[in-house]
Amino acid sequence: MAWPRDDAKLERVRALMDVAGLDAIVARAPDNVLYLTSFWGMKGYDAVVFPREGEPTLLCLAASADDAARTAWTDDVRLFDLYHPDDPRPPQARALDLAAALAPEYGTVGLELSLGTQASDRMVGEPTTYTKAWFDAFPDALDATPVLAEARAVKTEQEIERVRLANEIAAAAMDHVRGVIRPGTSEAQIAAEWLGFVHGEGTGWAGKVELALGYALVWAGPGIRTFTSTSNRPVVEGEPTLFEIWVCADGYWADHTKNVVVGELTDPYRELEDGLRAVYDDAVAFCVPGASLAELDRRVREGIERIGYPGQPTHPICHGVGTRAHEPPYAHKAGGGEVLAGMVLAIEPGCYWQGGGGLRIEDNFLITEDGAEKLSPFPDGIVQA
């Protein structure tokens, strides 16, 4: 879908560039190119030269010219070839040639020098990386990553609508899984059900989503733990199956953790759910404009300690969601920052048992002047299949 130009977003970026003394940003991460131009590339070779004043220039694979003409917010699109008969270099080298030729028009240029992670392109399978030549071409560049991170932290109305679409798709896929999960079904099989729904039904969702992609880690019963892969472990009656799930809808994301149980939940899990849900609900209520992100982290971890899980969880308990599934701000008790109206935050406390098993609860929340608005219609906690 071609979205109208989001002037509120672009003006916010330019105001922050002015404060940082940047005349132009040269960005290549797919999520930043999408953020600044509304163009989501196929292979991550594309780039944008985004000036503080004037028209941005999208540097785009020639094979994607039609997509750029339809979706990009700029009329200045410079094309480069995926394959060039006289140039054996990879295509991103030709994108760099175009960017380097434009940069001298501007005084101070910013690059994504401290970029730690980036979202995927539309093909996903072979993520592109930056070569040394990319940075060498702009020896006097400043770091534009903090500017982009600050701009992206607060969403515009259009961005909120796009995140809502991703949340709706993720919830509908969970409703589908809730109807087909059975004891003995493997983690991988039920993950495939969820992924298939996201891609098959989410693509075209509400007439507004051109491409929906899902990403899932599914853990059943004793398989629930952090940072391990989905396996062929079977779903266990009476114990939750945990879905750590992301949806990407045309470059905007949802990040949830949902839990489904087949049969009657066991007493240990019911007790854990009650305790963790109290911590989660308290964290959600705390997230009003002006609340301290450091205090949010402390509050959640102290609450988890009170229910008998000191030192947990080992993962962050709150982060931003937008054109990445994980983006600033992050809540950390040794850090800073505050909750602002317009942020979309994933809140995700978790407790894990020694040897396997446990629970995480996570949803995405839009911060309004009145507090946190849950974006997913799928319930929190452990949901009966």
Q: Phi/psi at 176 (nearest 5 deg)?
A: -65, -45
Contacts of residue 365, Cβ cutoff 8 Å, sequence gap at least 6: 284, 287, 344, 345, 346, 347, 372, 373, 374, 375
pLDDT tens per residue across span 197-221:
999 999 999 999 999 999 999 999 9
Measured distance CA(54)–CA(45) in Å, rounded? 23
Q: Retrieve residue 111's tokens.
A: 């690059």
Answer whether 0.85 is exceeded by the pTM. Answer: yes
Query: Given a cut of 90, is residue 51 above it in pLDDT?
Result: yes
Measured distance CA(16)–CA(177) in Å, rounded? 43
82 band by pLDDT with thresholds 50, 70 and 90:
very high
Q: What is the mean pLDDT of residues 269-283?
A: 98
Bond from prior residue into 379 cis (ω within 30 degrees of 0):
no
For residue 207, give the DSSP letter.
G
Q: Which pLDDT belongs to residue 124?
A: 87
CB-based contact 60:49 (threshold 8 Å): no
Query: Given a cut of 90, is residue 344 above it in pLDDT?
Result: yes
pLDDT tens per residue across span 314-336:
999 999 999 999 999 999 999 99
Q: What is the mean pLDDT of residues 271-282?
A: 98
DSSP three-state, residue 282: helix
H or E stretch covering 237: none
Query: Given a cut of 90, is residue 104 above it in pLDDT?
Result: yes
Q: Which pLDDT belongs to residue 118?
A: 94
Query: Given a cut of 90, is residue 227 above it in pLDDT?
Result: no
Give ∠ CA 150-290-117 in degrees, rounded to 5: 30
Which of 36, 25, 28 has its CA nearest to residue 109?
A: 25
CB-based contact 331:343 (threshold 8 Å): no
Q: Phi/psi at 184 (nearest 5 deg)?
A: 95, -20
Class of domain 7-152 (CATH, top level): alpha beta
DSSP three-state, residue 145: helix
Mean of per-residue pLDDT scores for the chain:
97
Measured distance CA(119)–CA(85) in Å, rounded? 31
Which of 89, 88, 80, 4 has its CA nearest to residue 41?
A: 80
CB-based contact 312:303 (threshold 8 Å): no
Q: Which pLDDT belongs to residue 1?
A: 79
Q: Which pLDDT belongs to residue 49?
A: 98
Q: Which pLDDT belongs to residue 37?
A: 98
Q: Which pLDDT belongs to residue 125?
A: 85
Strands (E), the chain: 24-27, 47-51, 57-61, 77-80, 109-111, 142-143, 212-220, 240-249, 252-261, 318-320, 327-330, 344-347, 350-352, 358-360, 363-368, 371-374, 382-384
pLDDT tens per residue across span 119-137:
999 998 898 999 999 999 9
Q: Phi/psi at 247 (nearest 5 deg)?
A: -120, 135
pLDDT tens per residue across span 297-315:
999 999 999 999 999 999 9
pLDDT tens per residue across span 162-190:
999 999 999 999 999 999 999 999 999 99
Measured distance CA(52)–CA(253) in Å, rounded? 27
The residue ranges of every structural domain in the chain are 7-152, 157-384
Q: Which pLDDT belongs to residue 226?
A: 87
Quick one: 267 exposed, middle or buried, by C-beta within 10 A (0-12, 13-18, 19+)?
Answer: exposed
Bond from prior residue into 310 cis (ω within 30 degrees of 0):
no
Measured distance CA(5)–CA(37) in Å, rounded? 8
Measured distance CA(382)–CA(245) in Å, rounded? 15
Measured distance CA(218)–CA(187) in Å, rounded? 6
Q: What is the mean pLDDT of residues 49-74?
A: 98
Contacts of residue 373, Cβ cutoff 8 Å, sequence gap at least 6: 365, 366, 367
Measured distance CA(314)–CA(225) in Å, rounded? 11
Class of domain 157-384 (CATH, top level): alpha beta
CA distances from 230 to 81, 84, 90, 218, 304 (A): 38, 41, 34, 5, 26
